[in-house]
A = this chain, B = another copy of it.
């Protein structure tokens, strides 16, 4: 009889935990919608009230997650961890992880950080506009100081950077990044050098005209549909800075933007966001309203977008199929462009100042530069005021580029102004994870490229669903990579992919 009661109690504890996590998830969903709406349809004068609405909902979710009640319930469940089913155990473990990660930050610290982020962002917008790093510096110093304190609250092994990296890439360490990025920067720099020196440069003069915008949008919808994006369970809207957000498992919102100056960024951007969207549409139905229905890490999330955007969307087989459809959509456009011409144009390598406009070959170098700087600053090896000089010097070394001003140098990214230190590596890791897992995909799906050339993506999407998406947060990023490649996260497969693709493209 006693045992029976105990079991019931455990069931009740789990039920109550799920209820509370469900409420937190509903608040997060509401927050996602408030944010999506702000960037798509909200009338401009609604901004001030929207800020307060978001702050209120955030604070409520935070209060719920870190409540004494939640802590005590998780403690009781932890004590009976061995009695839990495998599925429940991982849920409780992840909930405990989130609880600890959040509750270890004192409330007044969280408030201070939120305020520093908000004023830091404002200061950054103004300083970038005025190209005046010095006006941003005191805010940046404050944010760095808070980031250091945050690391202390969290605790860490090895570099203090690890404590911050964990928010984006749990399971990865700065020490591993050093080893991964070391070879990466060396070989990518060399590749870029060779490409720049190659005499076989693509002809892209045909791109130099104005491109109508509606056909760009229509074409992205066609491609996303072909790829398998379920528009009954999601949509695509316009936004100044494209992003993807999940309102719920069956309500995934992509955003994109068009350009009059060139016809491909809308498509590649949409495919990129679509990759994020597939991931968010692919979690387990039974994991909805729990913290398991999220990406394993920012890097794994990025690996999904990069697989679709770069490995598929910038491939020749893809354009063999889509070139006629693309030309048909742009019906007043140039008639005689070949798949090969497009393939070369969208893989044009040019060392450039701005990360978000960088090509595949130079992109990771932008990331490595940021990683080196933010790590040095957080470990106290570089002062914030030294960032511009370090930035410019490293741009010269890695990309042979002179930075004309801080606005197009160290002030270009939003991340640091929002206190997001430790975020950048995920972008590069996404590229590496994508290439590493893609080797396995090609083994498992021998007809993959034939299918892509026929505009068929079921095989690929199914593989990603089964091997990446469905796990949500049940596995950490390195585990997902290992299970899908047989090795630890590494830069080698990506370098092989890059070198093979671009050696052909540039006759190296």
Contact = CB atoms under 8 A, between A and B. Distances in A.
Contacts of A60: 23, 27, 60
A46 B29 CA distance: 11
A10 interface: no
B251 A26 contact: no
A30 interface: yes
Contacts of A87: none
Contact of A251 (B30, B43, B234, B251): B43
Interface string A7-45: 000000000000000110011011001100100011111
A155 to B, nearest CB: 33
A251 B42 contact: yes
A288 interface: yes
16 contacts: A22-B56, A23-B60, A26-B55, A30-B30, A30-B33, A33-B34, A33-B37, A41-B41, A43-B231, A45-B250, A49-B247, A49-B248, A49-B288, A50-B247, A52-B289, A53-B248
A50 B289 contact: no
Shortest 6 CB-CB contacts between residues of A and residues of B: A46-B251, A49-B248, A45-B250, A26-B56, A45-B233, A26-B53
Given A43-B235, A234-B43, A53 B34 contact: no
Contacts of A232: 43-45
Contacts of A50: 247-248, 251
Contacts of A231: 43
Interface string A222-255: 0000000011111101000000000111110000
A63 to B, nearest CB: 11
A183 to B, nearest CB: 44
A57 interface: yes
Contact of A49 (B27, B49, B230, B249): B249
The number of times this chain is found in the oligomer is 2
Interface in A433-453: none
Nearest to A55: B26
A49 B250 contact: yes
Contacts of A251: 42-43, 45-46, 49-50
A45 B26 CA distance: 16
Interface string A51-70: 01101110010000000000
Contacts of A233: 43, 45-46
A248 B42 CA distance: 11
A23 B56 contact: yes
Contacts of A48: 250
A228 to B, nearest CB: 15
Contact of A46 (B27, B43, B49, B247): B247
Contacts of A23: 56, 60
A231 to B, nearest CB: 7
Nearest to A24: B56
Contacts of A33: 30, 33-34, 37
A230 B30 contact: no
Nearest to A26: B56
Contact of A30 (B34, B43, B44): B34
A280 to B, nearest CB: 12
Nearest to A60: B60
Nearest to A42: B251
Contacts of A230: 45
Contacts of A235: 41, 43
A392 to B, nearest CB: 41
Contacts of A55: 26
A192 to B, nearest CB: 42
A40 to B, nearest CB: 8
Nearest to A233: B45
B34 A56 contact: no
Interface string A393-404: 000000000000
Question: Among the interface residues A43, A234, A250, which one has the most CB atoms of the partner chain B within 10 A?
Answer: A43
